[in-house]
Amino acid sequence: MVSTESSLLLGGSGSGRSRKVPEDKWDLAYIVYFTLGLGYLLPWNAFITAVDYFSYLYPDASVDRVFAVVYMLVGLVGISLIILYSHKSIAYVRINAGLALFVLSLLIVPLIDAFYVKGRVGLYAGFYATAAAVGLSGVADALVQGSIVGSAGEMPERYMQAVVAGTAGSGVLVCALRIFTKAVYPQDASGLQKSANLYFSVSIVILFICMVLYNLVHKHPVMKYYNELKVEADTANENNGPLTGAVWRSTVWNIVGRIKWCGFGIVIIYVVTLAIFPGYITEDVHSEILKDWYPILLISGYNVFDLVGKSLTAVYLLQNANIAVGGCIARLLFFPLFLGCLHGPKFFRTEIPVTILTCLLGLTNGYLTSVLMILIPKSVKLQHAETAGIASVLFLVFGLAAGSVIAWFWVI
Alpha carbons 285 and 287: distance in angstroms, whole number: 7
**Are the C-beta atoms of residues 262 and 372 closer than 8 Å to each other?**
yes
Highest average pLDDT, of 13-22, 184-193, 232-241, 370-379, comes from 370-379
Confidence label for 410 from pLDDT (cuts 50, 70 and 90): low
* Average pLDDT of the residues in 268-291: 81
Q: Which residues contact 10 (CB under 8 A, 6 or more apart)?
A: 2, 233, 381, 382
At residue 9, the pLDDT reads 40
At residue 241, the pLDDT reads 60
At residue 11, the pLDDT reads 42
**Are the C-beta atoms of residues 163 and 217 closer than 8 Å to each other?**
no
Mean pLDDT estimate for the chain: 86
At residue 278, the pLDDT reads 76
Look at 3-12, 165-174, 245-254, 280-289 and tell me which has the smallest mean pLDDT. 3-12
Alpha carbons 175 and 164: distance in angstroms, whole number: 18
* Average pLDDT of the residues in 121-140: 93
Which of helix, strand or coil describes residue 151?
A: helix
Maximum C-alpha span of the chain: 69
For residue 392, give the nearest of 288, 258, 282, 280 by alpha carbon: 258
Confidence label for 18 from pLDDT (cuts 50, 70 and 90): low
Torsion of CA 391, 392, 393, 399, to 10 degrees: 110
At residue 238, the pLDDT reads 61
Is the model's pLDDT at 195 over the cut of 70? Answer: yes
Half-sphere CA count of 292, side-chain side, radius 13 A: 6
For residue 294, give the nearest of 340, 373, 358 by alpha carbon: 358
CATH of domain 24-232+241-409: 1.20.1250.20
At residue 240, the pLDDT reads 61
**Are the C-beta atoms of residues 248 and 390 closer than 8 Å to each other?**
no
At residue 170, the pLDDT reads 95
The string of pLDDT tens digits covering residues 62-102 is 887 788 888 988 998 999 998 888 778 888 899 999 999 99
At residue 396, the pLDDT reads 93
* Average pLDDT of the residues in 371-394: 91
Domain ranges of the chain: 24-232+241-409
The string of pLDDT tens digits covering residues 319-339 is 999 999 999 999 999 999 988
- The pTM assigned to this predicted structure is 0.87
Q: Greater confidence, 43 or 9?
A: 43
At residue 2, the pLDDT reads 37
Alpha carbons 111 and 101: distance in angstroms, whole number: 15
